[in-house]
Amino acid sequence: MSEKDHVLIFDTTLRDGEQSPGATMSHTEKLEIAGLLDEMGVDIIEAGFPIASEGDFQAVSEIAKRAKSSVICGLARANYKDIDRCWEAVRHAKKPRIHTFIGTSPLHRAIPNLTMDEMAERIHDTVTHARNLCDNVQWSPMDATRTEWDYLTRVVEIAIKAGATTINIPDTVGYTAPRESADLIRRLIAEVPGADDVVFATHCHNDLGMATANSLAAVEGGARQIECTINGLGERAGNTALEEVVMAMRVRGDIMPYKTDIDATKLMHISRRVATVSGFAVQYNKAIVGKNAFAHESGIHQDGMLKNAETFEIMRPEDVGLTETNIVMGKHSGRAALRSKLKELGYELGDNQLKDVFVRFKALADRKKEVFEDDLIALMRDQETGEVHDRIKVKFLRVICGTEAPQSADIILEIDGKEQRATAKGDGPVDAAFNAVKELFPHNAHLQLYQVHAVTEGTDAQATVSVRMEEEGRIATGESADTDTVVASAKAYVNALNRLLVRREKSDPDADVKTVSYKDAG
């Protein structure tokens, strides 16, 4: 295989993914995810949008300083101020990149109110400016797939002449289809002067469920960079999922003979981490990283699997970093066994952390006969979310349920170190528990999402509860797991509230990302 068959993986989980409402990550979480992407072999990490907020700027700068092998890229609109700020953040990287863009379709051109000629001039000037700062410049005509062909070729040529080294062709609204996606790239490469000297990239959104197919088709048309996110995180229906394009090219190398540098055995772990920190759970039947992606329940399937795994599996679970879901631990398991199992699952703990987790593991093992890998993952998530911002803690909860409403909840919360107790009624035990929290800690946040998943099977299974809350445009997600669904719900609610409080108090810079408009090209 030659260099020509190498497809660069550009991950934008921390930019396009993080932009999706409710997916805001903290500074520490962004650094952790960037570290995992770098280790996994991602070629380019789009670490954020530096002009959007002080928080984004700090995160991109810090990621740039820490990156070992990945190129670190920041996003900038088509104006000097954005580009300068972006450069200030990424310049710390061993391999920095500036990514500048402007909407070129008729609908997008109308927003900054520029004529075609004025926009062409703006593209020339801003790409030239970026290139004077940095050797590695990516340019994107936003909404390229709905831009008139003649105008698209004109502006792509201008960007190449002005010094862009990568031309990204975004399907911003998820409108294209595979054949069209391949043809568009193929024609651009064939017809735009200078196209052979740059890398063409594809950036697809999943509004019609075709993002992965469109990205792979673009590669067949000649693109050599795929822009994607872990778990397909991203605005609306999300972006192309990294794990899908990487595994598709690997499993179907016979018809898609392209290679990437991704260590696929790290996919499961990073998928779980992104799900946890973004608060966006992975759907059970999600390709590659969904809980059911390698589960075989029907008798025929199980029989076939026992005889030969290839009967129903086109890739092995271990290829994507999934270890076998067996009963892994019980109440007699010791600390060393727990440490080693957690290490296998991708969690390396220091002695003190292990001590805390072990206490919680023992408590869980006392309540639950069999502790599965998924239980341990839920325990770890709970440990982490519980540690983040904990002004409020649930100390005690008792609910009275019955066939007759209302139900009631008696709760003790520790708020800023002081224990307080309240009782409240509600329509069901969860509602009663939430009302009791509200009684002790009045707030105006409203619940946008409440989801319960069973972590494993059985009536003693842990429930993972995800909660999303919104207050004056600020959104926070919380998560918790417990064998008692109502306890998990109350803890998830308090967890989301804690995150919201931090955002409120610091007037969280992360939240500002959502207020910077792409419309403001000038």
Q: Beta partners for 225?
A: 8, 201
Compute the 3-state secondary structure of the chain and give helix, strand, coil in percent, each to the nearest 5: 45, 20, 35
* Local structure of residue 282 (DSSP, 8 states): P
Q: Which residue, 136 or 229, is less far from Zn ion as judged by CB? A: 229
126, 140, 385, 456: which one binds ligand KIV (CB under 6 A): 140
20 and 238 in contact (C-beta within 8 Å)?
yes
Q: Which residue, 170 or 429, is less far from ligand KIV as judged by CB? A: 170
| CA–CA distance, 482 with 494 (Å, rounded to integer) | 14
| CA–CA distance, 493 with 86 (Å, rounded to integer) | 36
Question: If you count them, how many residues does the chain have?
Answer: 522
Q: Which residue, 210 or 380, is less far from ligand KIV as judged by CB? A: 210
Q: Which residue, 46 or 373, is less far from Zn ion as judged by CB? A: 46
Q: Which of residues 80-109 bind Zn ion (CB under 5 A)?
A: none
> In sequence order, what DSSP letters do the residues of 154-191 get, joined into one string?
HHHHHHHHTT-SEEEEEETTS---HHHHHHHHHHHHHH
Total residues contacting ligand KIV by CB under 6 A comes to 8
16, 43, 244, 373: which one binds Zn ion (CB under 5 A): 16
495 and 385 in contact (C-beta within 8 Å)?
yes
Smallest separation (angstroms) from ligand KIV to the CB of 16: 5
Smallest separation (angstroms) from Zn ion to the CB of 240: 10
Smallest separation (angstroms) from ligand KIV to the CB of 170: 3
Question: Is the N-terminal amide bond of 406 cis, ω within 30° of 0?
Answer: yes
Measured in whole angstroms, the distance separating CA 87 from the mean position of its chain's CA atoms is 24
Assess 77 for contact with ligand KIV (CB under 6 A): no
Q: Which partner in Zn ion, ligand KIV, none is near 142 (CB below 5 to 8 A by kind)?
A: ligand KIV
50, 170, 222, 386: which one binds ligand KIV (CB under 6 A): 170
Q: Which of 262, 265, 263 is nearest to 7 (CA)?
A: 262
Assess 48 for contact with ligand KIV (CB under 6 A): no
Beta-sheet strands, E only, within 197-338: 199-204, 225-228, 327-329
Q: Which partner in ligand KIV, Zn ion, none is near 101 (CB below 5 to 8 A by kind)?
A: ligand KIV
Q: Which residue, 143 or 482, is less far from ligand KIV as judged by CB? A: 143
Assess 203 for contact with ligand KIV (CB under 6 A): yes
Q: Which residues have CB under 8 Å from 207's CB, separation 6+? A: 173, 174, 175, 236, 237
Assess 16 for contact with ligand KIV (CB under 6 A): yes
54 and 82 in contact (C-beta within 8 Å)?
no
Assess 238 for contact with ligand KIV (CB under 6 A): no
Numbers of helices and strands, H then E, in the chain: 17, 16
Smallest separation (angstroms) from ligand KIV to the CB of 498: 31
Q: Which partner in ligand KIV, Zn ion, none is near 140 (CB below 5 to 8 A by kind)?
A: ligand KIV
Structure token pair of residue 183: 């043809």
Assess 87 for contact with ligand KIV (CB under 6 A): no
8, 90, 142, 274: which one binds ligand KIV (CB under 6 A): 142
Q: Which residue, 225 or 466, is less far from Zn ion as judged by CB? A: 225
499 and 24 in contact (C-beta within 8 Å)?
no
| CA–CA distance, 47 with 33 (Å, rounded to integer) | 10
> In sequence order, what DSSP letters do the residues of 411-432 get, joined into one string?
EEEEETTEEEEEEEEESSHHHH
Q: Which residue, 216 or 342, is less far from ligand KIV as judged by CB? A: 216
Smallest separation (angstroms) from Zn ion to the CB of 172: 6
Assess 181 for contact with ligand KIV (CB under 6 A): no
Q: Which residue, 129 or 341, is less far from ligand KIV as judged by CB? A: 129
Q: Which residue, 232 or 429, is less far from Zn ion as judged by CB? A: 232
Residues at the site binding ligand KIV, with contacts judged by CB under 6 A: 16, 101, 140, 142, 170, 172, 203, 205
Residues at the site binding Zn ion, with contacts judged by CB under 5 A: 16
